[in-house]
Amino acid sequence: MVITDELVAYLEKLGRIELDDEQRVKTKKDLQDILSYIDTLNELDTDNIEPLSHSFPIFNVFAEDEVKNGDMRDEVLKNAPESQDGCFKVHRTVE
Amino acid sequence: MNYEIVIGLEVHTELSTKRKIFCNCTTQFGGEPNTHVCEICSGMPGTLPVLNKKVVEYAIRTGIATNCDITTNNKFDRKNYFYPDLPKAYQISQLYFPICRNGHIDIIGKDGEEKQVRIHEIHMEEDAGKLIHDDWEDCTLVDYNRCGVPLLEIVSEPDMRSAEEVIDYLTKLRSILQYTGVSDCKMQEGSLRADVNLSVREMGSKEFGTRTEMKNMNSFKAIARAIEYEAQRQIDIIEEGGKVVQETRRWDDANGESYAMRSKEDAQDYKYFPEPDLPPIIIGKEWIESVKNNLPELKDAKKKRYIEQLGLPEYDTGLITDSIHLVRLFEKTSEICKKPKIAANWILGELLMRLNESGKTPEDIDFDDSSLGKIIVMVEEGKISRDTGKKVFKKVFEENVDPEKYVAENNLGLVSDTATLKPVIEDVIAQNEKSVNEYKGGKQQALQYLIGQCMRALRGKAPAQEVQKILKELLDK
Ligand SMILES: [Zn+2]
C-alpha cells in the first residue's frame, strides 16, 4: 500500500485534525515506514492460521448485573473542558 | 409502471439490565443530567470496560427466540467516529462476529399469507449520550446518562414489501423482546427505534434499486408515514427520469417529509478494529442450552395455556396477550385472587375502561401490581360490594392507594354479621306488611322488593346474599 497526499488529507479529515505542509510530509513518510515494516509479515505463510485479535488466553470476563455507582456528577464534571447546567459543554455540534 | 417497495430494518433496542454494559452505573431512564455517569462511561483515559454478563444472556435469548444461530467465538470491535454524544470517540460494537446470525421472524405478508422476514444478524453495542443544543449560548450541552446503556441491533434482510409488513414485523419483534424480558420497548423513551432502508424497483425485477436510509424513527405511525412518503419520492424521481441518490435522510414527522442529512454525505469510514480492552467471549453449548431451558413463555405458548388451562375465551386471551403489561398484571392478579377468569374480566372491563377514559395505554399502568388482586379478593369474600370494588379500583388507578387501607379508612366494608343485620331486616319486615303478605301468597317479586328495601336501609353496606338469606329465614319462619 502506498501512502499518497490524498490519503493523508483524508486521514486528517477523519481524525478532525489539520496538519501544516511540513507535518504532512513527515506524516506521509512515517506512515509509509510503518506500513513497510508491517509488510515484513507478508513474507510469512498465514494461510491456515486463525486471525488473532487478543494475545492473552483470557476469555469470558464478566461483571454481574448490579448497580454499584451512585451520583458522582461533580467528580465526573471536573474532567469536562467546560460545564454548564450539569452538562459537559462543547462547541455547537449539529448533524 | 408498477413498482415494488423493498424494505430492510435495523432496529435498536435498549436492554432491561439494571447496570450499564461496561460500567457499574444504572440504566434507569431520566434523572438529572450526568448523574448516572462514571469515569468509564464518560470515556476517561486509562479506564477499562467490564462486560455485563446479562447483556450476553439477553442477546442469546433474543437469538433463540428469533431462530438465529448463536456465535461461539465472539468479540467486540471499535467503531471510530467523532461526535460529542460518544465521549471515547468510538463506540464499542460488534462488526466481524455478531452474536446471532441467520434467524427469521414470521409475519403476515401483503397477500395475507404467512411469510418469513430473515434476520441477517443481531449484535451487542453501547448506546450514546444526548446532546442539547443551546441556541442562545451557541454551544452544545452533553448528558451521558444514556451513554453505555446496552443495546441490541437487530438487522433484517430486505424482505419487507410494504408499510403494513414493516409494522407487522415490528409488532412481532417487540412482542418477542418484551415476552423474553429483554427490553420494555418503550418507544417514547427511545428503547425501541428503527432505521428504515428503502428502495423501489420495477415489479418483477431481480435487481435492487438504490436505497436510502431513514434514521431513528420511534413510533409505528411515523414509520408507516415515512415509508409511504419515501417510496413515493423515489418513484417520482424515477418517473421523471432521475436517479435515486444513496443517502441518509431524516424523517420530519411534524411536516410529513424527509430531508437529506448533510453531515452523513461525508465519507463514512469507521476504521473498525478489534476492541483490545475486552477479552473474547466464548459461548458453549451448555450456556445456550441453559438459556433455552429458562426462556420465558412466549406469546403463542401463553395464549394456548390461557385458553386450554385457565379456560379463558379466545377473544379475551387475545386482548390480554397483545400487551405484556396486561399479561404481567393478569398473572399477578390471578396469583393473588386464584380466579383467572374473574381477574380477566376486571382487566378487560374496569381497567381498559379507565385506560380509555384517561387516554392511556397499558404501558402507562403505574399502580401497585398487587392492588387489583386485593380488590378482587375483598369482593369475592363479600368484604366489599362489587360497586365499592369498582370505586376503590378507580382510586387505585388514579392515585395508587392501598386498596385494603382505603376500604378500612373510609369505612367501605360490608357488614355481614347477623347480629347487626337482623334488627334492620326485622324493621323492614314490620314496615312492609303488604309485600310480606304478597310473598307469603307466592309472589316471588315481592322478595326482590324487600331485599331492595333492606339494602336501602343498610345503605348498601351488606352483602346482598347474606341479606337475602336472613330475610328468607325470617319470612319463612
Ligand atoms: Zn458509568
Ordered DSSP codes for B397-442: HHH---HHHHHHHTT-PPP--HHHHHHHHHHHHHH-HHHHHHHHTT
Q: What is the mean pLDDT of residues B361-372?
A: 93
pLDDT digits (tens, 9 = 90+) for B388-433: 999 999 999 999 999 999 998 988 888 777 778 888 899 999 999 8
For residue A62, give the nearest of B51, B137, B261 by CB distance.
Answer: B51
Burial class of B2 by CB neighbour count within 10 A (0 to 12, 13 to 18, 19+):
exposed
Chain A interface test: which of B40, B80, B133, B141 (most A C-beta within 10 Å)? B141
For residue B34, give the nearest of A76, A93, A94 by CB distance.
Answer: A76
What residues have CB less than 8 Å from A43, skipping those under 6 apart?
none
Backbone angles phi, psi at B217, to 5 degrees: -95, 135
Q: Looking at the domain assignment, is residue A55 inside a domain?
A: no
B265 touches chain A (CB under 8 A): no
Give the count of domains, chain A: 1
> For residue B333, is pLDDT > 90?
yes
Grid cell locating B385: 360490594
> For residue B267, is pLDDT > 70?
no
pLDDT digits (tens, 9 = 90+) for A16-40: 899 999 999 999 999 999 999 998 8
Grid cell locating B154: 437487530
CA atoms within 13 A on the CB side of B409: 7
User: Would you call A25 helix, strand, or coil by DSSP?
Assistant: helix
For A12, the domain range is: 5-42
List the domain boundaries for chain B: 3-285, 297-409, 418-475
Q: What is the mean pLDDT of residues A71-79?
A: 95
Least confident of A85-94, B61-70, B345-354: A85-94
For residue B280, give the nearest of A54, A73, A77 by CB distance.
Answer: A54
The pLDDT, as a whole number, for residue B175 is: 94
Q: How many CB atoms lie within 10 A of CB B154?
A: 26
What residues have CB less than 8 Å from B210, skipping those under 6 apart?
B199, B243, B244, B245, B246
CATH classification at residue A10: 1.10.20
Check A60 against B269: CB less than 8 A apart. Answer: no
Least confident of B17-26, B308-317, B328-337, B453-462: B453-462
CB B259 within 8 A of CB B249: yes
Q: Looking at the domain assignment, is residue A80 inside a domain?
A: no
Q: Looking at the domain assignment, is residue A79 inside a domain?
A: no
Least confident of B23-37, B184-198, B454-468: B454-468
pLDDT digits (tens, 9 = 90+) for B198-240: 999 999 899 999 999 998 787 899 999 999 999 999 999 999 9
Q: Would you say the ipTM is above 0.95? A: no
- CA separation for the pair B133, B141 (Å, rounded): 6
Reported as a pLDDT band with limits 50, 70 and 90, residue B189 is: confident
Q: Looking at the domain assignment, is residue A58 inside a domain?
A: no
More confident position, B359 or B267: B359
Chain A contacts in chain B segment 315-334 (CB below 8 A): none
Q: Looking at the domain assignment, is residue A38 inside a domain?
A: yes
The pLDDT, as a whole number, for residue A14 is: 83
CB B134 within 8 A of CB B94: no
The pLDDT, as a whole number, for residue B57 is: 98
Q: B418-475 adopts what CATH topology?
A: Arc Repressor Mutant, subunit A (1.10.10)
Chain B CA closest to residue A51: B274
Grid cell locating B149: 446503556
Chain A contacts in chain B segment 138-177 (CB below 8 A): 138-144
B271 touches chain A (CB under 8 A): yes
Chain A CA closest to residue B271: A14
Report pTM: 0.84
Mean pLDDT of chain B: 92
Long-range contacts of B112-119 (CB under 8 A, 24+ apart): B115/B159, B115/B165, B116/B159, B117/B156, B117/B157, B117/B159, B117/B160, B117/B165, B117/B169, B118/B156, B118/B157, B118/B159, B119/B66, B119/B67, B119/B68, B119/B154, B119/B155, B119/B156, B119/B157
Please list every residue in chain B whose beta carbon sits closer than 8 Å to the beta carbon of residue A54: 75, 274, 276, 279-280
What residues have CB less than 8 Å from B366, skipping those under 6 apart?
B400
CB B74 within 8 A of CB B97: yes
Give the environment of ion ligand 1: residues with CB less than 5 A: B 23, 25, 38, 40-41
Q: Looking at the domain assignment, is residue A78 inside a domain?
A: no
Q: Looking at the domain assignment, is residue A61 inside a domain?
A: no
The pLDDT, as a whole number, for residue B263 is: 58
Q: How many CB atoms lie within 10 A of CB B212?
A: 20
* Nearest residue to B53 (alpha-carbon basis) of A20, A11, A60: A60
Q: What is the mean pLDDT of residues B24-46?
A: 96
> For residue B469, is pLDDT > 80?
yes
Q: Looking at the domain assignment, is residue A67 inside a domain?
A: no
